Amino acid sequence: MNALSPERTGAEAPFYRPVAQEVALFEAAHANGLPLLLKGPTGCGKTRFVEHMAARLNRPLYTVACHDDLSAADLIGRYLLRGGATEWVDGPLTRAVREGAICYLDEVIEARKDVTVVLHPLTDNRRTLMIDRTGEELVAPPAFMLVASYNPGYQNILKRLKPSTRQRFLSITFGFPDAVTETAVVARESGLDAARVVPLVRLAGHIRALSGMDLEEGVSTRLLIYAATLIAGGMPIDRALQAAVIEPLTDEPDVAQALRDVIASVY
Ligand code: ADP
């Protein structure tokens, strides 16, 4: 989605199967004007959860995928030259504040340090966005909510969310769903029969047990959905797992072989 055009809500919320009490927590955070931090590995449903909640609460959603070049100006806005005149153009965060929308900063830890300075007054009881360039000071309406995510697994010394930032957010840890939930999610998203999803989810459990040793991270729900989609389309299981599980997880031939051994023990 383009961060500048909000995902309009309305009709039907995208499918999301709750794993614990996250729906109630999100609703309480929104009702009380509190920001929320989602922690967890990639592909475990954080983005889908936010999309679902935005639709449920009937708020527009601005999603920003943060990266190491993302600056405060990218979020707030900048003067642009248009037809010979300079014109102020709001960034996605400013728009979300003006519209009382939900702003989701995905992988916020990747963003440049000046972003933190902007987030602080917005995430405490001031709920204010300072736009230095125009001198504007926006007070967020009650419906505005800031949601951020990060993957603690990728943390290193250089990239860490400072305690002063972390302690402004309610936080919730996302893990991979339990086997029954994950089977339902993968079957629904891929169209593969649940009975054929069961071994895939079992395989994921074995692979996740290896993570941290040879693998940086276990196989995500997203990759399982890819594998199931290929299998549902008629691809032989070994080819589907090679493309959707082994190759995305590793470049090392010996790790790939270890994964093939795990697959052989399940199928
Ligand atoms: P993240 O933002 O954590 O990287 P996503 O939200 O993009 O991950 O999740 C990847 C995919 O996994 C989603 O597109 C969705 O199909 C599926 N998914 C994961 N968990 C759930 C869930 N609890 N309910 C519905 N779909 C889910």
Q: What angle do CA 106, 112, 115 make, to 5 degrees?
A: 75
In this prediction, residue 163 carries a pLDDT of 86
Is there an atom of ligand 1 within 6 Å of 1 CB?
no
Interatomic CA distance for residues 95 and 77, integer angstroms: 9
Interatomic CA distance for residues 181 and 188, integer angstroms: 11
pLDDT tens-digit readout, 106-150:
999 888 888 988 999 999 989 999 999 999 999 999 999 999 998
Torsion sign, CA atoms 133, 137, 143, 145: positive
CA of 223 to the centre of ligand 1 (A): 10
Mean pLDDT for 183-211 is 95
Is there an atom of ligand 1 within 6 Å of 91 CB?
no
Residue 149 in tokens: 């995510």
Q: How would residue 215 be classed by pLDDT, with cut points 50, 70 and 90?
A: confident
Q: What angle do CA 171, 18, 151 make, to 5 degrees?
A: 40
pLDDT tens-digit readout, 151-165:
887 655 556 778 888
Measuring from atom 26 of ligand 1, which residue has the nearest CA? 16
CA 148 to centroid of chain Cα atoms: 8
Please, what's the b/e burial string for 54-87 (b: 16 or more CB within 10 A of its CB; e: otherwise)?
Answer: bbbbebbbbbbebeeebebbbbbbeeeeeeeeee
Does residue 195 carry a pLDDT above 60? yes
Interatomic CA distance for residues 155 and 175, integer angstroms: 16
**Can you give the pTM of this predicted structure?**
0.91
Interatomic CA distance for residues 218 and 43, integer angstroms: 10
Does residue 1 carry a pLDDT above 70? no
CA of 186 to the centre of ligand 1 (A): 9
Is there an atom of ligand 1 within 6 Å of 225 CB?
yes
CB 16 within 8 A of CB 71: no
Pocket residue to mutate for ligand 1, from 185, 217, 226, most atoms within 8 A of Cβ: 185
CA of 255 to the centre of ligand 1 (A): 26
Burial class (CB in 10 A: 0-12, 13-18, 19+), 220: buried
Is there an atom of ligand 1 within 6 Å of 107 CB?
no
CA of 93 to the centre of ligand 1 (A): 23
Q: Which atom of ligand 1 is nearest to the CA of 50?
A: 6
3-state secondary structure of 232: helix
Interatomic CA distance for residues 37 and 58, integer angstroms: 20
Write the single-letter amino acid at 186: V
Pocket residue to mutate for ligand 1, from 222, 223, 226, most atoms within 8 A of Cβ: 222
Q: Which atom of ligand 1 is nearest to the CA of 221?
A: 12
Is there an atom of ligand 1 within 6 Å of 46 CB?
yes
Q: How would residue 213 be classed by pLDDT, with cut points 50, 70 and 90?
A: low
Interatomic CA distance for residues 208 and 217, integer angstroms: 7
Does residue 84 carry a pLDDT above 60? yes
CB 207 within 8 A of CB 262: yes
In this prediction, residue 9 carries a pLDDT of 52
CA of 37 to the centre of ligand 1 (A): 16
Query: What ipTM, to 2 d.p.?
Result: 0.98
